[in-house]
Amino acid sequence: MTVTMPISTSSTPFRLALLPLLAAAPAMAAVDYQVDVAAPSGLADLLKNNLELVSAQKDPDIDDYQLRALVKETPAEAAKLLETEGYFRPKISISETAPLRFTVKVEPGEPVIIDDVTIKLDGTIRQEGNFPARLGEALEAWSLPMGAPYRQSDWDASKRAVVRVLTADRFPLARITSSQAKLDPETGKGELEVVVDSGPLVRFGKMSITGNQRYPAKVAEGLADFKEGDPYQQKKLLDYQSALEQDVHYSGVVVSTDMSRVDADNRVPVDVSLTEFPRQKLELGLTYDSSDGPGVRLGYDHYNIFRRGFTGSMLVDWKQNDKNVSFGLGFPRQADGYSHSITSRWKQTDIQGIKTTSVDAGAWRIRARDNINARFGIEFIRESEEIGSTIQNDTYALLGVFGWTQRAVDDTMRPRNGRLLDVTLSTTLGSALTSSQFVRAYSRAVGYWTPLPKLGTFVARFEAGQVWTKDSNDVPTSQLFRAGGANSVRGYEYQSLGLPGPNGSVLGGRVIGTVSLEWQIPVAKDWAVALFHDAGNAADSWQTYKMEHSNGLGARWYSPVAPLSFDIAKAEKDGRLRWNMSLGLAF
């Protein structure tokens, strides 16, 4: 006979007595324990990061029953993890070395070594004339070669890499049809086999452009270096995206292909979505230069001249000793990667006792790709010089010019590693429109190196140039060299290093060479202190060249706009302190 005794819980004293017990129950059930893993370093990290027994230490609700269950399951779980690293015969034990302190001990044994790898490419790709080369690319992309220990991550990565080689070029529908990893723990050897079906050769289909409301569609179409019917290449799409992003007409670009839309002729349409800049832009600003003082800058751009997407620009840069008015007409980049422009400029300067009024005009062919800008052009320069208020000199030159610039830095706003390189070669073209024939070579370089962020950044700068001519007096001043000032030999006035001229003027030399070593030490967020030494000069020849030196201290502010530099340097020649300020990279 069972008798059920009803218990009344309606009484207040009973409820008050039960509540502390209920509140204390979770705290009493929680278990605080520790886990040690005794295994080779690489495997120890694998187990520490993936064993549930380890991760459960952070679970505030685990009780003793759950803990004992995890302990029992740990050896099998560890064995599965070790198999991903190629260890199929490990010895695993777990012991409680102290109350609630567990040690997982692992003796992994020898890993399985890859003894044979077979990669097969099937499908249309076998009909390609360069099939041996494509197979070689697939083999080169494989990252789990014979003689290497088997690792699951390498096995998966290798398969993806082989497929990627095909999908990136002509065969975007390629897929793995079979893959086997035959691993024998007894012999310690493994055999891998992957079969990839290339699928059909896919070609570019029609291009669909949306968002082009202000500018002709041919502006965007002309930036693509492929046409309908060309074999599909992922790199060409990426290059096209980059070219559109760099074009002055567009502020936002998305280039895409949808492989589910490949048609019966194995062509995939190209979708281009554009966001355009306004047709016109006006800029007005105040400037300040450490050598010329305050100034005014006015810029105007029109991005649809003649309604053909041509770019027209005008710039007025007016300072006390440096006045500049320039005009430009730019043509959209074509499918071959080149763009063209026409430029003209009027400039008047008064620097180191030489008053120069110049007019120049040029036509340029430019190719910009990734971080490299190459330019070819014909330029005519005409200058009128007044030297020391006594000598009048008129010079002119018709030049063929080649320039090459690379900006390969990790961050253009705050470079820590990388380099800037610039090379210019120019020569006069005949003698009819030239006051003196000459050849000019000029190069400059800046290197950034940050071994450890806390140590700061080391910056090295180099500049060298030479003009070959019979008479430098008939060479335009802009084609000769002077040194001194920001981004040159700090501690000396702007372009004050050169050849002595009449009435204290400084003439340009045929050669220049400057070097700089700088240590930028971080002191706060976006701020650094710079210690530097500069050396260099300009001269009539390398035989008469003599370096001038300066030492200095500066501040660096990595502003949202561009790096701002403020420097104070002492020239060793006269012992005077001079300051310089500059905005942006060296070039």
pLDDT of residue 29: 53
For residue 28, pLDDT over 80 is answered with: no
Report the distance separating Cα 52 and Cα 386, nearest Å.
Answer: 84
- 319 and 448 share a domain? no
For residue 307, pLDDT over 60 is answered with: yes
Last-in-domain residue among 90, 107, 124: 107
Question: Which has the closest alpha carbon to 138: 201, 199, 195, 204?
Answer: 195
Q: What angle do CA 566, 567, 569 make, to 5 degrees?
A: 165
Check if the beta carbon of residue 32 is closer than 8 Å to that of residue 100. yes
pLDDT of residue 574: 92
Which CATH number do you get for residue 148? 3.10.20.310
Question: Do the domain assignments include residue 160?
Answer: yes
Domain hosting 435: range is 345-583
> How many helices, marked H, and strands, marked E, lie in the chain?
8, 27
Question: Which has the closest alpha carbon to 534: 502, 577, 572?
Answer: 572
For residue 20, pLDDT over 60 is answered with: no
For residue 4, pLDDT over 70 is answered with: no
- 494 and 353 share a domain? yes
Last-in-domain residue among 164, 179, 197: 197
Domain count, the chain: 5
- 482 and 383 share a domain? yes
The one-letter code for the residue type at 107 is E
Question: Do the domain assignments include residue 2?
Answer: no
Check if the beta carbon of residue 277 is closer than 8 Å to that of residue 303. yes
- pLDDT (tens digit, 9 = 90+) per residue, 281-290? 999 988 877 6
- 272 and 284 share a domain? no
Q: What's the average model confidence in pLDDT over 37-46?
A: 91
19 sits in which H/E element? helix 12-29
Check if the beta carbon of residue 419 is closer than 8 Å to that of residue 378. no
Question: How many angstroms separate the Cα of 425 from the Cα of each of 362, 363, 380, 407, 507?
Answer: 15, 16, 15, 18, 22
Residues of the chain above pLDDT 90, percent = 80
Question: Do the domain assignments include residue 9?
Answer: no
Question: Which has the closest alpha carbon to 94: 86, 106, 84, 85?
Answer: 106
Residue 408, beta-bridge partner list: 419
Check if the beta carbon of residue 133 is closer than 8 Å to that of residue 84. no
Q: Characterize 499-522 residue by residue with b for buried, 16 or more Cβ atoms within 10 angstroms of its Cβ, and e for exposed.
A: bebeeebbbbbbbbbbebebebeb
For residue 34, pLDDT over 80 is answered with: yes
- 450 and 509 share a domain? yes
For residue 304, pLDDT over 80 is answered with: yes
Report the distance separating Cα 393 and Cα 383, nearest Å.
Answer: 8
Question: Do the domain assignments include residue 10?
Answer: no
- pLDDT (tens digit, 9 = 90+) per residue, 379-427? 999 999 998 767 788 999 999 999 999 999 998 888 999 999 999 999 9
For residue 514, pLDDT over 60 is answered with: yes
- 409 and 533 share a domain? yes
Question: Which has the closest alpha carbon to 444: 467, 418, 471, 462?
Answer: 462
Last-in-domain residue among 168, 197, 226: 197
Report the distance separating Cα 90 and Cα 112, nearest Å.
Answer: 12
Cβ neighbours, 10 Å, residue 366: 18
Question: Which has the closest alpha carbon to 171: 121, 242, 223?
Answer: 121
Check if the beta carbon of residue 134 is closer than 8 Å to that of residue 230. no
For residue 19, pLDDT over 70 is answered with: no
- 350 and 489 share a domain? yes
Question: Which has the closest alpha carbon to 397: 360, 423, 347?
Answer: 360
- pLDDT category at 291 given cuts 50, 70, 90 is low
R_g of the chain computed on alpha carbons: 36
Question: Do the domain assignments include residue 1?
Answer: no
Question: Do the domain assignments include residue 3?
Answer: no
Question: Do the domain assignments include residue 315?
Answer: yes
Question: Do the domain assignments include residue 337?
Answer: no
- 234 and 302 share a domain? no
- Among 292-296, 387-391, 484-488, 547-551, where is mean pLDDT lowest? 387-391
Question: Which has the closest alpha carbon to 219: 75, 50, 333?
Answer: 333
pLDDT of residue 388: 72
Report the distance separating Cα 484 and Cα 494, nearest Å.
Answer: 5
pLDDT of residue 585: 78
More confident residue, 416 or 10: 416
Q: What angle do CA 104, 102, 64 make, to 5 degrees?
A: 125
Question: Which has the closest alpha carbon to 410: 400, 420, 401, 402?
Answer: 420
- pLDDT category at 8 given cuts 50, 70, 90 is very low
Question: Which has the closest alpha carbon to 540: 477, 438, 466, 462?
Answer: 466
- 43 and 90 share a domain? yes
For residue 333, pLDDT over 70 is answered with: yes
pLDDT of residue 9: 36
For residue 235, pLDDT over 60 is answered with: yes
pLDDT of residue 581: 86
The two tokens of residue 504 are 């204290």
For residue 265, pLDDT over 70 is answered with: yes
- pLDDT (tens digit, 9 = 90+) per residue, 358-382? 999 999 999 987 789 999 999 999 9
- 312 and 181 share a domain? no
For residue 316, pLDDT over 70 is answered with: yes
- 506 and 401 share a domain? yes
Residue 465, beta-bridge partner list: 442, 512
Which residues are CB-contacts of 170 (< 8 A; sequence separation ≥ 6)?
125, 128, 201, 202, 231, 232, 233
Considering all CA atoms of the chain, what is the largest pairwise distance in Å, rounded to the nearest integer? Answer: 133
pLDDT of residue 14: 38
pTM: 0.71
- 269 and 401 share a domain? no
- Taking all residues of the chain, what is their mean pLDDT, rounded to a whole number? 91
Which CATH number do you get for residue 53? 3.10.20
The two tokens of residue 477 are 């001043």
